[in-house]
Amino acid sequence: MKETLRCSSSARDPASLVVGAIAAQLIGGLVAQMSPLMIGGFMDGLSLSERDAGFVASLELLILAATAIAIAPFLPRISYRRISLAAVALTLGAQAASIFSLSLGSLALLRGLAGIGEGALYAVSLSIVASRSSNPDKVYGYFQIAWALGSVALFSVGGQVTEAFAHRGILALIAGVTLALAPFLFFIPDARANSGDRTVKSPALVAPPLLGVVTLSAIVLYISVSAALYAFSTPLGERAGLDTIAVGYALTLTTLIGLAGAAAATVLNLRWGRALPISCFCAAFMIVAIALCLWRHPTAYIVALTASGIIYYFSIPYLFGLAAALDRNGRWAAAAGSAYLLGFAIGPLAAGAVIAAGGYASLAAVCIAVTAVAWVLAMVVIRRLSEPAHAALQADAA
């Protein structure tokens, strides 16, 4: 399958752009990353039921995703720095107020407001890379390296402050990290996506809306099954003969070794295009799903779980990069953030229903089938993107 790349893999982006985008990405996605600890903190600190605590967490994630997709069409006409600073101000205010919340209603309202700011920042982080970076896939790889490194410390500290101070501890940690990262948002260019020249001009045409929908569908499907296995990693480990503490260590190990996946995506970048890497990680994920769901052995579980971390951190840059290739203004890349978050929210709910209906064997079968569909959709997008770009290059050569 031919695939024409829109930029040279050797092109370099300004360090300020990369730093600012990473800061926006981390602030925007911090709540999604820490949601398991937040739910536990809500239950302990406010005596909420599992349903109510889950409702608050889901509400914030849904508002985050809705904001990201709603703001995406307007980002090319707005100053990235101004929208980022306004969003982080809203987020910080809501975070600080949430620490002192005493009821479910006020907590839900404040977490919803925080979700608006987080969604805007998450969209900015993806859109600015797609619109102003000469090599989006590589920068998205940097995102995953930052997440893998940061998650180790965050999970360690987050568990301790949640144990000691319940919801106030984890919310204070999130607010503190947000405040620490906020100054780096000043590195984001104070310019619109459609202003200025790109470092590397792309021969690709703006993709039709249907192709964007297909891309977002592929991302939702793939992230859904990834989140499904991640959400049930503890019961899967217990089925394999491990206790909860051992599973926690295995998850920490998975995050650390997952760095290899992020590093590989950054180094390989688009050297072999997108079709081959996407095909490889989809096939590998299917094998991991079979091992986790069907093989009840501690060593097999740890190996498969670790492999899932490597695959996950390797796959995300290519999926976001595929969305970034759809247009030069970063609108589809921003919407890809919503697709990611939607898949993250859908996966555990769907997995629970599948397990209740047919057990873990059914979960493995569903993961394989859904991943296959996601792969087909991604290949359709890659082929369609390569056709106009290839034709344009042939016309230029003639």
Over range 233-250, report the average pLDDT.
Answer: 79
Give whichever of 109-123, 184-198, 376-390 has the largest mean pLDDT: 109-123
- Which pLDDT tens digit goes with each residue over 83-95? 999 999 999 999 9
Paired tokens of 277: 């890497």
Whole-number pLDDT of residue 92 = 96
- Which bin fits 273, alpha (ψ -120 to 50), beta or left (φ > 0)? left
Instruction: Give the residue ranges of DSSP H helices in the chain.
Output: 15-46, 50-71, 80-99, 104-132, 136-181, 209-231, 233-239, 244-268, 275-294, 298-324, 331-397
Whole-number pLDDT of residue 197 = 44
Q: 3-class DSSP state for residue 260?
A: helix
Q: 3-class DSSP state for residue 393?
A: helix
Whole-number pLDDT of residue 199 = 43
Number of Cβ atoms within 10 Å of the Cβ of 302: 19
For the chain, the average pLDDT equals: 84
Over range 161-168, report the average pLDDT.
Answer: 86
pTM score: 0.75
Whole-number pLDDT of residue 220 = 94
Whole-number pLDDT of residue 159 = 77
**Which domains, ranges and CATH numbers included, belong to the chain?**
15-187 (1.20.1250.20), 209-397 (1.20.1250.20)
- Which pLDDT tens digit goes with each residue over 307-350? 999 999 899 889 988 988 887 777 788 788 788 888 887 887 78
Paired tokens of 38: 């937040």
Q: 3-class DSSP state for residue 255?
A: helix
- 56 Cα distance to chain centroid: 20
What b/e string do you get for 178-188 counting C-beta neighbours within 10 Å, with b at 16 or more?
beebbebbebb
- Which pLDDT tens digit goes with each residue over 18-56? 999 999 999 999 988 787 778 778 888 888 876 788 788
Would you say 63 and 109 are in contact if contact means Cβ atoms under 8 Å apart? Answer: no
Between helices 331-397 and 50-71, what is the axis angle to 10°?
40
Would you say 17 and 137 are in contact if contact means Cβ atoms under 8 Å apart? Answer: no
Q: 3-class DSSP state for residue 11?
A: coil
CA nearest neighbour of 199 among 141, 137, 136: 136
Q: 3-class DSSP state for residue 193?
A: coil
How far are the Cα atoms of 202, 249, 252, 288 from residue 306, in angstroms, in the given order? 37, 11, 9, 9
Least confident interval from 36-40, 193-197, 248-252 = 193-197
Paired tokens of 274: 């997108």
Over range 177-185, report the average pLDDT.
Answer: 96
Q: Considering only residues 192 and 90, tell me which one the structure prediction assigns the higher pLDDT.
A: 90
Task: Give the Cα separation of 203 and 179 in Å (integer).
Answer: 40
Half-sphere exposure of 362 (CA within 13 A, CB side): 10
